[in-house]
Amino acid sequence: MSILTKLLDRRIVIYQRELIETHYAEVENMYRQIRGWRHDYRNHIQTMKSLLALNDKESLKKYLDDLDEDLSTVDTVIKTGNKMTDAILNSKISLAKSKNIPVTVDAHIPVALTISELDLCVIIGNLFDNAIEASLALPEGQRMIRVYMDMKNTQLYISFTNFTATKKQRKINGRFHTTKGQGHGFGLIRIDQIVKRLDGYISRNSEDGAFTTEILLPDIDEILRRKQ
């Protein structure tokens, strides 16, 4: 193994550790907000009862509107059936919304995935981060991220689509390259490494101002059958 390869592997390991720490921090922040709102739940009820007793309907309505807006920022809106997937998706959706990026998600995942949570976190986290970064280059009215996840027979299918500032990105040596500059792009490398290790399939396409990544990941039993 060359010195350059060793240095690259080391930087990828460091990047992966920082990525996981960031994801867990985002998830923890989301649940911290939820716990805080639940803690205040009794106080909210008492306040609304007092306003109702005073027959102050206008103040009660405003209080309910404020609560509704507050709750919308911490509500776990996505329930795929898999807890780790829910945690990652909801934390990233919250991050995207804070940057005024609309997100639509259609995801249905069985509880007992054989893919490791670490691999899932790296793939979904990187796909979302790349989509968010690309969306920020667009005016707010043109931003969009669409996520679709489901099982195709025994394979997990993942699709991410987002609008981009360029009509069509070009491939260099068969690969789309990051625009982040030197020292970045490890997310793409990590995704490719995981898909290759799991004997999966990945496709990236840039058409009409939209960038789409599609991934198929077989379950562990299928991988073992292929290698027999």
- In CATH, the number for domain 76-227 is 3.30.565.10
What are the distances in angstroms from CA 218 to CA 112, 121, 190, 191? 13, 16, 17, 15
Q: Which of 56, 44, 26, 30 is nearest to 124 (CA)?
A: 26
Task: Report whether 140 contacts 212 (CB < 8 A).
Answer: no
pLDDT, tens digit (0-9, with 9 covering 90-100), for 65-113: 887 766 655 555 677 777 778 878 887 888 888 889 999 999 888 666 7
φ, ψ (nearest 5 deg) of residue 182: -65, 140
Query: Residue 221 — pLDDT band, cuts 50, 70, 90?
Result: low
SS3 assignment for the chain: CCHHHHHHHHHHHHHHHHHHHHHHHHHHHHHHHHHHHHHCHHHHHHHHHHHHHCCCHHHHHHHHHHHHHHHHCCCCCCCCCCHHHHHHHHHHHHHHHHCCCCEEEEECCCCCCCCCHHHHHHHHHHHHHHHHHHHHCCCHHHCCEEEEEEEECCEEEEEEEEECCCCCCCEECCEECCCCCCCCCHHHHHHHHHHHHCCCEEEEEEECCEEEEEEEEECHHHHHHHHC
Domain ranges of the chain: 76-227
pLDDT, tens digit (0-9, with 9 covering 90-100), for 117-169: 778 888 988 899 899 999 999 999 899 999 999 988 888 999 999 988 766 55
Predicted model pTM: 0.64
**Angle formed by the axes of helices 3-39 and 41-53, to 10°?**
30
The predicted pLDDT at position 145 comes to 95
Which residues share a beta bridge with 163? Answer: 210
